[in-house]
């Protein structure tokens, strides 16, 4: 059986088993994620926890910030992907402007700003990245 056939079962006896396996898969993925977080083995989760402690950011916004901290100009598509992952219900691209505004508000009191390169995307200048990393390195999580 192909995976496409499994995602849309046509035989009634397959549907309950498929649903059970999907639930079990979701449960195991979440258990794994929590275990990795507890072990501190996931740098992305460490970054997200530090962003929550220092800036009060939600995890999805912290993921956007992680992309910006890399130092390159990031277009809206890459920021939207960082924010929402590979969800089926991907938000509209224009939400990126709103999310960047929220990030700017959260970062401004700490002397970090997100810059706009018109027609290209957003970035954090080197000085801002250094300041942000220093703030996050001192976070108690």
Torsion of CA 13, 19, 22, 27, to 10 degrees: -130
How far apart are alpha carbons 18 and 83 in whole angstroms? 29
Nearest to 100 by CA among 73, 138, 127, 136: 73
Q: How many residues does the chain have?
A: 141
The class (CATH top level) of 43-137 is: mainly alpha
Whether the CB-CB separation of 123 and 71 falls below 8 Å is answered with yes
pLDDT greater at residue 103 or residue 30: 103
Sequence ranges of the domains in the chain: 3-39, 43-137
pTM score: 0.67
Q: What is the pLDDT of residues 106-119, one digit of tens each?
A: 999 999 999 999 99
Average of pLDDT values for 64-77?
91
């Amino acid at each position: 059986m192909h995976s496409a056939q499994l995602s849309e079962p046509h035989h009634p006896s397959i549907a309950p088993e498929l649903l059970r396996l999907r639930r079990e898969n979701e449960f195991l993925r979440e258990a794994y994620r929590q275990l990795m977080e507890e072990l501190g083995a996931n740098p992305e989760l460490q970054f997200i926890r530090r962003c929550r402690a220092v800036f009060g950011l939600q995890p999805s916004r912290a993921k956007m910030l992680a992309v910006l901290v890399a130092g390159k100009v990031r277009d809206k598509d890459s920021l939207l992907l960082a924010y929402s992952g590979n969800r089926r219900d991907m938000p509209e691209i224009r939400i990126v402007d709103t999310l960047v505004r929220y990030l700017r508000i959260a970062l401004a009191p700490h002397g970090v700003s997100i810059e706009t390169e018109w027609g290209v995307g957003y970035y954090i200048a080197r000085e801002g990245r250094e300041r942000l990393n220093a703030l996050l390195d001192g976070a108690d999580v």
